[in-house]
Structures are given as C-alpha cells and as structure tokens.
C-alpha cells in the first residue's frame, strides 16, 4: 500500500481554498483557487455555464470515470431592509438560523465588502417566560447605519449574498476546523488523489474527470448539469456526513460514525452494489479503516444526481465524518482525510486493473 500524509504545501492549499468565499450561485473565488491548484496535474480543464470545474486526464478515452466533490458553501441573501437600516435575511442553502446571533458577517456588494453582525436582544431585556428562539423571521443584521438610505449608499440591496468571515485553523494537531469544510474538504481530497496519481506515474486506461460541482446545497444542481455534459460511465462522489458521537445526536436514527475511525462507505439505492463492494474490497485488501452508513431512500449528495442521470451511472459515495455541519466551526479529522485520499487512489488502481469495466 502507498503511504500518504498531508504535507505542508497541501495544508497551505487547503487553507487558501477554505478561506475563499464560494457561496452557492457565486462560487468563482473558491473555484479559481481549486482550478489553479489542479491545473498542473491534468491535461485539460473545462468549466460549464454555471461554474462547475472539471480537470481531465485522458480526455479521448471512451470510458469516463468521475471523482467528484462540490465547491459551494451555504450563505444568506439580503431579503428585506427596514427603514432603520436593519437587514432581514433569506437562506441560500441550508443555513442554520440557530447559530446566527452574535456572528460577524460580510455582505458582498458591487462596491466591495460591507461588514455587519447578526444582532440579538441582550439577556437583560428579555423575559425568561417569553424567550424566543432564533428563526429566519427574527434574526437580523446590523451594519452600523441609521437608516435604509445609508445602507443602500453602501451598496447593500435585496439579493446581496451574505457570508461568514470565519477562517481555517488546526485544532490539537488533528482536526481541521473551518466553515465550508462541507464540502471543500472533498475538493481537497480529489485534488490530492490526482496529485498522487501523477507522482506515482499511474497510467490510467480510462478518462478521469475530476469534478468540482456548483450548487449542491440547493438540490444537486451542478452535478445534474455536468453529468449530462460528460456522460460518465462511473462516478465516485465525496462529501461529508455527521459524526454521531457529538452530543445530542441519536445513533439509532443517524447511525454510528466517529471522527478518526476512517472514511464512510455509503449504502443507499443510488449507490451501486458492484462499485461499493469494489471499494470495500480495496479498503480491506489495503488495510484502510472505514465505516459504514445507511442513507435509506436518498443520500442527499451528488451521488443521487449522477446515479439517476442519463441512462444510469455506476455511482458510489465515500464520506468524511464531520462535526457541527453547517456551522462556522465544522471539524474533520486529519487521519480520515488521509485515509479517504488513499482509498480513492487505491480504488482507481483496482478499477484500472479490472478489465470488466472496459468491455464495450
């Protein structure tokens, strides 16, 4: 088995990539960083109308295999500005209203960034018997203006995207912590797989399409579009899933998944048994620790979009355990990331050596 560990150059890429903004519908900055990073490892790069990026090795091969992640992160929209200049919001993806109060925000305008905060009434002013929980209809942003005109003069208008400015850091040597690990950690993983293929001079028999999709958070939209374009034979998707050892999560419902115990191999109708078993056999033969998760009817990931596209695509899902999904302190274990890179790398070699996949 090849050894792999995340080196300092890769951490620098990961940090830059995570810190770039890539809200759903405007993923350009994050995508630019990702494209720049993988461009030296692939023969061709293409993007589609909405911004999904694809790096290709062996673009003329008739058999097409995708490894995929999504680049977009959850955010908010400016939805309503009061006469006093207070801003109310609407979701862009599954943004969590409960974590909003007291968070700093950045409003993206044509005049540049406008800084603000999600305010909340002080504890002294609230009646315990009438406590209100944060919800989309009562959370609000204060940008330090006195009225609506001042807000508009700063460039703020309905439709501006709002993101959190929180940045990447490493906790206790083992955990990567950042907003948007869902699912830029997947984009990092597939970029590292390609780097390993080149550094180990692996000669692939198939066309490899390294896909960083847009708009997953609003319904797998980028994957649906790019699958029509590429017409792949197979797709191995990476995303994140819940660490269920975090407090207040029911393992009977959410499954038993823990950070540090390896990547997660998924079970669901969209996940094809043949490719899943090949991944499991590869993990076992290469002594790569993994976990299993049932997703019932739908995985909620781009796997579903690929599997049911065109005339059907052999699809599988490898997930990374993540704590505190859709917050600004998402956490993944370094070891799980390394094992996921290794598992996909070894799986691609197993597919390369398995002639049944290349029969016309």
**Active-site residues: which are they?**
216
Contact 105, 164 (CB under 8 A): yes
pLDDT number for residue 357: 76
Does residue 349 contact residue 67 with C-beta atoms inside 8 Å? no
Give φ, ψ of 73 to 5 degrees: -120, 155
The b/e string for 230-266 (b: 16+ C-beta within 10 A; e otherwise) is bebbbbbbbbbbbbbebeeeeeeeebebbbbbbbbbb
Say what the pLDDT of residue 354 is. 87
The structure tokens 């950070």 sit at 259
Alpha helices (H) in 20-154, listed in sequence order: 28-38, 148-153
Q: Which residues of 25-37 are buried (b: 16+ CB within 10 A; e: fewer)?
A: bbbeebbebbbeb
Residue 268 has what DSSP assignment? S
- Per-residue pLDDT, 3: 83
Q: How far is CA 142 from CA 119, 123, 159, 162, in A?
A: 6, 18, 16, 12
Q: Which residues of the chain have pLDDT under 70?
A: 1-2, 358-360
Q: How many CA within 13 A on the CB side of residue 24?
A: 21
Conformation bin of residue 128: beta by default, left when phi > 0, alpha when psi is -120 to 50? alpha
The whole-number pLDDT of residue 141 equals 98
């Amino acid at each position: 088995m090849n050894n792999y560990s995340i080196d300092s150059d890769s951490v620098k890429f990961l940090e830059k990539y995570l810190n770039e903004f890539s809200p759903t519908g405007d993923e350009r900055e994050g995508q630019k960083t990702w494209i720049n990073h993988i461009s030296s490892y692939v023969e061709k790069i293409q993007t589609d109308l909405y911004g999904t990026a694809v790096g290709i090795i062996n673009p003329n091969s008739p058999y097409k295999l995708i490894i995929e992640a999504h680049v977009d992160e959850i955010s908010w929209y400016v939805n309503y500005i009061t006469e006093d200049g207070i801003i109310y919001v609407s979701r862009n993806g599954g943004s969590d209203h409960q974590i909003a109060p007291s968070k700093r925000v950045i409003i993206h305008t044509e005049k540049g960034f406008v800084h603000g905060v999600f305010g909340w009434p002080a504890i002294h002013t609230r009646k315990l018997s009438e406590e209100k929980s944060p919800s989309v209809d009562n959370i609000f942003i204060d940008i330090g203006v006195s009225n609506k005109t001042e807000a508009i003069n700063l460039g703020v208008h309905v439709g501006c995207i709002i993101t959190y400015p929180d940045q990447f850091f490493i906790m206790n040597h083992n955990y990567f912590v950042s907003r948007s690990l869902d699912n830029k950690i997947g984009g990092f993983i597939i970029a590292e797989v390609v780097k390993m293929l080149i550094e180990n001079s692996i000669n692939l028999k198939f066309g490899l399409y390294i896909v960083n999709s847009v708009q997953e958070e609003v319904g797998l939209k980028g994957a649906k579009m790019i699958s029509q374009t590429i017409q792949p034979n197979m797709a191995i998707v990476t995303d994140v899933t819940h660490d269920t050892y975090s407090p207040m999560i029911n393992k009977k419902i959410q499954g038993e998944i823990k950070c540090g115990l390896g990547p997660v191999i998924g079970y669901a109708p969209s996940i094809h048994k043949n490719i899943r078993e090949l991944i499991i056999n590869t993990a076992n033969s290469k002594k790569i620790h993994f976990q299993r998760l049932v997703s019932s009817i739908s995985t909620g990931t781009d796997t579903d979009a690929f599997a049911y596209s065109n005339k059907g695509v052999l699809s599988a899902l490898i997930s990374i355990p993540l704590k505190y999904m859709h917050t600004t302190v998402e956490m993944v274990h370094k070891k799980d990331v390394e094992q996921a890179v290794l598992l996909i790398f070894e799986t691609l070699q197993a597919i390369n050596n398995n002639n049944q996949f290349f029969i016309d």
